[in-house]
Amino acid sequence: MSHTVNHLRTHRKQTHITQSDIAFLLDKEDRSHLSRCERGNRAPSMSMLITYHLLFNTPVVSFFASQRKLVKRELTERMKLLIRSLENEEPTAQVLSRIAYLKSALTRLTNETYEN
């Protein structure tokens, strides 16, 4: 069983909203699934994430700050490998366009400041 650190519970507790309140808003019979998601034992559904986002006025990604850092690090490394691989291919317009886009995205990711 994977354990994913998230900040769903933190945001909920700061507002004094209960798991039962959230379960009601999600039209769920009980809060057991919600509890498992908040503890990181289950992945939250898209519906649940959007509910938290709308209810707490918080970007979805901020609920998963540590995972975002890890995914960003892995993504940028894989992007560098892909760019190197594409640079060894025949330089068609499509390949050059892909390289340009990946380099632009890599620059954006490298230069961004994300505080959540």
Domain map of the chain by residue range? 8-58, 65-111
pLDDT score of 1 more than 50:
no
Helices (H) and strands (E) in the chain, counts: 6, 0
pLDDT score of 116 more than 70:
no
Structure tokens at 100: 């340009």
Structure confidence by residue, pLDDT tens digits, 43-60? 899 999 999 999 999 899
Question: Please, which residues have CB within 8 angstroms of residue 6's CB and are 6 or more apart in sequence?
Answer: 37, 38, 40, 44, 63, 64, 67
Structure tokens at 27: 């039209």
Q: What's the pLDDT at 78? A: 97
Which residue do the tokens 């760019």 mark?
83
Q: Which amino acid is at 66?
A: S
Read off the pTM: 0.71
* CATH number corresponding to 8-58: 1.10.260.40
